[in-house]
Amino acid sequence: MGVSDLTAFRNEVGESDPVCVRGGGTHWEVGGDDAGVRSVAAPVGIEAFEPAEMTVTVGAGTTVATLSAALAEHGQEVAIDGPYGSTVGGALMIGRSPLRRGRLGEVADVLLQADCVGADGAVFTAGGPTVKNVTGYDLCRLLVGSLGTLALVGRVILRTRPLPEAFAWMSGAVSTEEVVDALYRPATVLWDGVETTVRVEGDAQDVDEEVGRLQTLGMAPTVEPALPTEWDRWTGVLPPGGVLEVGAGVVHQPDQPESGTVSVGVRALGERVRDSFDPARRLNPGRDPHRVSA
């Protein structure tokens, strides 16, 4: 993809009627529904990957799987998770942090630059190409998790990370506190009400030693668990079939969560932000980030 693809995307978005953007459709139900609204798809393809710079420029319509495979060839990855078929743009707009956030960081910190089409049909760029940047307002963090209601993202520059040399999943009926105390920066800590499951990663020898410590606690090797697909905010009580992501405030559960709760003041400010970017509410009109619980 290139500049011409972005121009084509802009022309497709247009400047007046309601329009929604469709990625892989893997989280189509999050934050509302745009059934019946004309849909567009973001450009696809890896435009530039500079392993030595640890950044990648990619069309927002590219699948997470395609991107991950290309990065892995050079021993790198990005802090974006998504089920098979999900797109980079979709994952950013949903704004869920990766399961390995303890090592990879939050999804909010992965987006360096976004080339977007605004509600008025004009292309604009948020952020910049470098890994550090405080030039002007931080529109990139605002865009992550915005469900495409502020602008439609066509192309992004993402921060990449080196893949860990080794990793291991361990689980057992041990308290999460004991597990956390035994480790340094575990990638993932999960608790299902009975067992704690943890992923450690890094240098191979360090991982071996951490695995040894966990075995002493009574944990055994396991594989990456299949988590229930719905996300809810952790409120202190584990729902049936739920798995807590410790430290992340997220519960993975089988049942669809209640709508999110938000104060009157925060909602009012959020609505002002949306109105400012899209006064006619033409972008993904059926969606609302205030409905997303976690």
Amino acid, res. 4: S
- Return the number of the residue (16 or 259) whose C-beta is nearest another protein: 259
CB of 96 to another protein, least distance (A): 8
- Return the number of the residue (144 or 219) whose C-beta is nearest another protein: 144
- Return the number of the residue (45 or 260) whose C-beta is nearest another protein: 260
CB of 182 to another protein, least distance (A): 12
CB of 267 to another protein, least distance (A): 7
Are 145 and 29 in contact, with CB atoms under 8 Å apart? no
- Return the number of the residue (22 or 103) whose C-beta is nearest another protein: 103
Distance separating alpha carbons of residues 79 and 98, to the nearest angstrom? 6
Main-chain phi, psi angles of 72, to 5 degrees: -65, -30
At CA 110, angle to CA 205 and CA 68, rounded to 5? 65
CB of 243 to another protein, least distance (A): 14
- Return the number of the residue (44 or 257) whose C-beta is nearest another protein: 257
Please state whether 85 falls in left (phi above 0), alpha (psi between -120 and 50) or beta: left
CB of 177 to another protein, least distance (A): 8
Are 181 and 235 in contact, with CB atoms under 8 Å apart? no
Main-chain phi, psi angles of 92, to 5 degrees: -65, -40
Q: Hunting for tokens 């669809």 — which residue is that? A: 256
